[in-house]
Amino acid sequence: MILRRSELDSHEEVRMGRLEGKVAFITGGARGQGRAIAAKFASEGADIAICDICAQLPTVPYPLANTDDLAETVRLIERSGRRCLADIADVRDQAALDRVVAKAIDELGQIDIVCVNAGIVNFAAFWEMPEDVWDEMIDVNLTGVWKTVKAVAPHMMERTRGSIILTSSSNGREPAPELAHYTAAKHGVIGLMKSFAYELGPYGIRVNTILPGPILTPMTNNEPTRSWIFGRPKASLEDYLQATRNWHVLRGRAALPASAIADAMIWLASDESLHVTGVELPVDAGHLILPGMNMSPVAGEIGTVDYDANALEPGKFAG
């Protein structure tokens, strides 16, 4: 929106941000997607509350964000002229989330937008996966989503407004090798989104989810994740980018920048999507519309099949 300062004898124009006067709470906000979302929202007028665990988890094979990362996000937000509250919190810890939400409401006045962004990834065949690897993935990527929304929902319900944006994945729609736990969690996030949207709709609260494809952040730009994407050990960044070029329909795309997620989220956060709830929004350069095919088929003894027969003889067709 453009407002003219009629009281000034000039042609100066003042641009009001799309999130002017609003407050956004972002989990996993210390770096990567979380930082990009925070910076984008602040650039459009929002004050920001962020939290991150700032500690290493035992099942995660790459370094997680630290307090320096958190401080850098605060510096970027404050440099843009907006307020930023930052705290250390584990999304598995309901008391910690409740504390951050209460502090944000006290210091920033309200919470209008929630971006549930915190997440982890690791890789293992499901039949070899230790139980602690499964449990930690589900606790962070699924239960942490429920706990985050649980922490802020009563405040939004009282105000009868708000936008909640969950982060799922293209793996919320499709499987991938060595990602049964991640895929289960991200499918679950879509289920939570639909349930939250249904239950919170009567309170005027919108709930949607973003489904990212490969995004170039510290979560993906590390040797274990690059190697999983590329399909060979010790993959470089160039290997990773080469592999992700095969991921998209749109021309000229490799792994997308974190700003692609922030750009999509700000639409869902703003009043431009005032009548949109219960939506899954892929941000994947068209990946999910690609026709499926088996890139590594395994041949077996299938014998001779009589496709004109009314029924196959027992044992005649076995894959």
210 sits in which H/E element: strand 205-212
Residue type at 36?
Answer: A
Contact 123, 178 (CB under 8 A): yes
Report the alpha-carbon distance of residue 188 to residue 143 in Å, rounded: 9
245 sits in which H/E element: none
Report the alpha-carbon distance of residue 55 to residue 189 in Å, rounded: 24
Task: Output b/e per residue, 206-234; b: 16+ Cβ within 10 A.
Answer: bbbbbbbbbbbbbbbbbebbbbbbbeeee
Catalytic residue among 62, 182, 203, 307: 182
Task: Output b/e per residue, 171-188; b: 16+ Cβ within 10 A.
Answer: bbbeeeeebbbbbbbbbb
Contact 122, 137 (CB under 8 A): yes
Report the alpha-carbon distance of residue 160 to residue 157 in Å, rounded: 5
Q: What angle do CA 72, 115, 3 make, to 5 degrees?
A: 85
Residue 198 designated active-site: no
Task: Output b/e per residue, 90-108; b: 16+ Cβ within 10 A.
Answer: bbbebebbbebbeebbeeb
Q: How many other CB atoms sit within 10 Å of the CB of residue 194?
A: 16
Q: What is the greatest pairwise CA distance in the chain?
A: 91
* Catalytic annotation, residues: 182
